Structure 1
């Protein structure tokens, strides 16, 4: 467990490729704040209990639970932590609504996503796995918390420090980060990671141009002076502007590679571009994110007028203008 003044980093195991998520405990004179929750799995329950014992605090001391966004590794255990602590759970209204859309028991999003991916070239043997795969997350995110909303521009007290609530979308439409202007510290969730690139995905019924949303966010966040970033994956880091610039270069290169592939082939489905960009050795979990990220880049190019689309026999193809 790493510590920086009042902030303690808790490592929570994940049963998929990322392997680990950082949650944070912030200690204050009146109580404790938890930042992000992990999954509702035994490994993460045990990790929280071990962190509690090592830190010498009780569940009754927790005064709030704050979520950066709705993805299962951040949101999943929040309802259980709320039951244990009685504390309010804060997140953006957008991400609360999207948690219900993706993971609600009555949601038809799994079938809608299957059809969406099939139209973009995903073969039936993969597409038909999507509904069961998405519904397999239900036990990891239940019970859903009773949520309170945070809005960009709000201020929230975490421990004994007032943080500005910043909207940092792209990875998730309602993603929030938290900025301490005195120490110039940023609790950044998945907005900015020290080594890996945050996944930027296009999903049905969500932002139609998430990559543009993310690139605009990166440009806007350059205005902030940040001396420490506390990310959800990887160690705390201080090369803030350098990391933003590296991510901008990464996406520019990927856009160029995808556009060149489409132009060379004259027309291609998103799935064909995905296999070219990310290879063919996938699980359904990884393929879902790879194809969604491919679509985010292709739609960015289309909306900028660099590619167009045509539909043939119910299949969407990208092509040069």
Structure 2
């Protein structure tokens, strides 16, 4: 698979923008675009130029989700090329920078930060982080919304969207096969088809994608993400192409590994409640992760909340005034 590696020192490591073109070079598509920063913009421009293309040549942009390290340059590229930008309908308003959608997400985040017990000083620090990073959002794009099962024929490939929420409400994976009339493999000698997929941040080779804090709009975030992982494991792909770092050659094994990680995290959280008594999500995250700064001020308690909320729904913990306590029910994930 032809990918351009893009700089990213803020999140899960170097981003990938995947380049799809047909046999004649007349149909050019990108899967994700990277951050809207001068360095990343230059990475992408140089990568396309090495392949004989420019931003103006891009016909289609397929976004795995709305996060700025995946969608930041979509609007700028569209302005130069009139490319069609595809993203799941749940994330489309954020890529379009719809003020009502942005305000609703900010209100939800503020509500949860208070509910999680995040101290005011840390909330102020987090707000400063978001203010400082506002330039990363990039230009808004005119979006064509997609949904689960949408089939796109772009860049000589046939991509079928699979809605895989958890890390983000509108996160999608895209199963790869060939568009009619082409005879291309996946760029690494493998047969294309259901054996491969673009997986964005649903499955990463090094880190475990954040749930709970990465997108505060997601209801039942851990449950939704575990469903995504089970689906990925059951697909038994030969290889998947993540939004960060290198391809994953054992995606089923990696999905199972992350499921096990969340089981272990559940045990850790229950141990915290057993040892220290009732606690809010911020206090639990402090025991798990220690001092938090930057974006982790929302990611840490967000993940703690995702687990606590899941355990509450299973009857393993109860919550009173934002503080969670163990019950006598058997634990489950």
Please report the TM-score for the alignment, with normalisation by the length of structure 2. 0.86
Shift of 1:14: 2.0
The answer as to whether partners of 2:65 and 2:168 remain within 8 angstroms in 1 is yes
Question: Does residue 1:118 correspond to 2:114, yes or no?
Answer: yes
Task: Give the SS at the match of 2:288.
Answer: helix
Shift of 1:270: 0.7
Q: Distance in 2 between matches of 1:204 and 1:27?
A: 32
The answer as to whether partners of 1:103 and 1:137 remain within 8 angstroms in 2 is no
The equivalent position to 2:316 in structure 1, one of 299, 306, 314, is: 306
Shift of 1:106: 6.7
- Which stretch has the larger CA shift, 197-206 or 216-225? 197-206
The equivalent position to 1:42 in structure 2, one of 30, 34, 38, is: 38
Residues 283 and 259 of structure 1, relative CA distance in 2, 3 Å threshold: same
Question: Does residue 1:178 correspond to 2:174, yes or no?
Answer: yes
The equivalent position to 2:249 in structure 1, one of 238, 248, 269, is: 238
Q: Distance in 1 between matches of 2:156 and 2:98?
A: 35
Question: Does residue 1:13 correspond to 2:7, yes or no?
Answer: yes
Task: Give the SS at the match of 1:222.
Answer: helix
Q: Distance in 2 between matches of 1:74 and 1:234?
A: 13
Shift of 1:266: 2.2
**Structure 2 unpaired stretches of 5+:** 178-191, 328-333
Task: Give the SS at the match of 1:223.
Answer: helix
Give RMSD over aligned pairs.
2.2
Task: Give the SS at the match of 2:139.
Answer: coil
Residues 75 and 39 of structure 1, relative CA distance in 2, 3 Å threshold: same
Q: Distance in 2 between matches of 1:65 and 1:97?
A: 16
The equivalent position to 1:211 in structure 2, one of 219, 222, 229, is: 222
Shift of 1:220: 2.3
Task: Give the SS at the match of 2:19.
Answer: strand
2:324 aligned residue: 318
Q: Distance in 2 between matches of 1:19 and 1:205?
A: 22
Q: Deviations over 1:75-107 (max 9, x none)?
A: 111100111211010001101234568987972
Q: Distance in 2 between matches of 1:157 and 1:17?
A: 30
**Structure 1 unpaired stretches of 5+:** 1-6
The equivalent position to 1:23 in structure 2, one of 17, 20, 39, is: 17
Residues 76 and 58 of structure 1, relative CA distance in 2, 3 Å threshold: closer
Give the count of matched residue pairs. Answer: 310
Shift of 1:262: 1.2
